[in-house]
Amino acid sequence: MKVLIVYDSVSPNKMTKAVAQTIGEVLGEKGIEADTRYFAEVDKSAIKNYDCAIVGGPTMAFRPSKGIAQFLDSLPKNEFNGKRAAAFDTKVKMAINGDASKGIEKKLKGLGFTIFKPPLEVYVQGLGKNMYQFKDGELEKAKNWAQEAASTLSG
């Protein structure tokens, strides 16, 4: 099983990158080959060599970041039929939340992927000047999500 984890991360302290790396580490510990890549460094022609894609980015203006949205829009349609995928995002919890992960999931489905797990939503809190930290327990939630994903992918 080969999994490609693709992410966008825009804050100076790279919160979404940390989530992507956490997912990759957990999958690796469970014996799944996982490559974690920033979206701009992904060889789009090589994606078809993976069994699964896990794609994530920060929620920005109530939707996926421009980078991850453009990345997904640039992929060929129906080249991924039969492959599995899942989405994740990072966001600040507010009274009205946007949802990058649902937008990412919709784009993945449109590309022909089968969604194998509900999206992971990881909450961060602002520290001022575009700096963030994980809310208590959120990185542990990401680890648990990745462990469940590993079980589903291995089963």
The two tokens of residue 52 are 């699964």
Q: For residues 114 and 105, what is the distance between their CA atoms, to the nearest angstrom? A: 10
Q: For residues 104 and 5, what is the distance between their CA atoms, to the nearest angstrom? A: 13
The CA-based angle 7-13-18, given to 5 degrees, is 45
**Number of structural domains the chain divides into:** 1
What's 117's DSSP letter? S
* HSE-CB of 83 using CA atoms within 13 angstroms: 25
The whole-number pLDDT of residue 138 equals 96
The whole-number pLDDT of residue 155 equals 78
The whole-number pLDDT of residue 78 equals 81
**3-class secondary structure, 145:** helix
Asked if residue 117 is part of any domain, the answer here is yes
For residue 104, the domain's CATH number is 3.40.50.360
Nearest to 8 by CA among 113, 142, 101, 109: 101
58-67 mean pLDDT: 89
The listed range with the strongest mean pLDDT (56-65, 76-85, 109-118) is 109-118
Q: For residues 46 and 124, what is the distance between their CA atoms, to the nearest angstrom? A: 32
Asked if residue 155 is part of any domain, the answer here is no
Q: Convert the pLDDT of each residue in 10-34 to its tens digit.
A: 888 899 999 999 999 999 999 999 9
The two tokens of residue 140 are 């542990």
Owning domain of residue 89: 2-150
**3-class secondary structure, 97:** coil
62-74 mean pLDDT: 93
Asked if residue 65 is part of any domain, the answer here is yes
Q: Convert the pLDDT of each residue in 95-152 to its tens digit.
A: 667 789 999 999 999 999 999 999 999 999 988 777 889 999 999 999 999 999 999 9
